[in-house]
Amino acid sequence: MPKDTKRLKIPLKFAKKLYFLQFFHYNADIPEEWRIFLMRKMLKRINLFLFFVLVVLVVVSPLSDILFPALTRLIHPAESSLGWNLILVNGEHYIPRDYQVNLTELANGQKVDSRIYPELQAMFDEARRQGLGLYVASGYRTTEKQRELLEEKIAEYKGQGHSSKEAKTLAERWVAVPGTSEHELGISVDINADTDVCTREALYSWLGENAHHYGFIHRYPADKTEITGVINEPWHYRYVGKEAAQEMYDLGVCLEEYIESLK
């Protein structure tokens, strides 16, 4: 029995009953201050125990990323209330488990959400008409594929002499954590230049000036890294729809800023 109860001069026979049982029930024979005091003591110990359990599971356990993703790195499920084309997925918003996508396969075997295919094809047709060579290097990815890419990147950094923790941190700067990659939505593509036809600089310059006409945005520009949490990726384009893309282009904002302005 805690010694602190002596300060309230609680009889031992009452204190024992109160501590383990009586504070759960109202009893007119038990002074209210005793009840409140012992209830606080019990709740404090329960809270400390739960906190300790969470620390062990989330920080210590190597399985924490699998067992408790929402506690370790993911904060909110992505919302699609603004429309499927404006769903925000990043390090703080993960793809809902019930998210579904219908895919269209491209000529090179890559796949994209069928809803973006017409505009994607139109953009590519116009780029080629203007003498550029381009192709989708990466379209839709499964969560398993995203995990595989991250693990490969981690292994690469480990091979360079980094610790497991350092390798994971470095890898996540380049490869999104599974469940937080726009590629898993099917509405983002990595576009590479066919260097036998044109330079990378020429292609990315053209995309930067024209992609919004087809509903696509340069998702991770260099001057928005602090907001997006992702380094500059001149090859990564995301479909948001023509209206939103035009507004974002005119305002010079990234998707996070645009979504925030609509709230």
Q: Say how far apart CA 127 and CA 61 lie, in whole Å.
A: 50
Query: Which among 151, 233, 256, 257 is annotated as catalytic?
Result: 233
Q: Both tokens of residue 17?
A: 């009953």
Does the annotation mark 233 as catalytic? yes
**CB of 1 within 8 A of CB of 17?**
no
* Cα–Cα separations (whole angstroms), residue 58 to 45, 51, 69: 20, 10, 9
Residues with catalytic function = 233
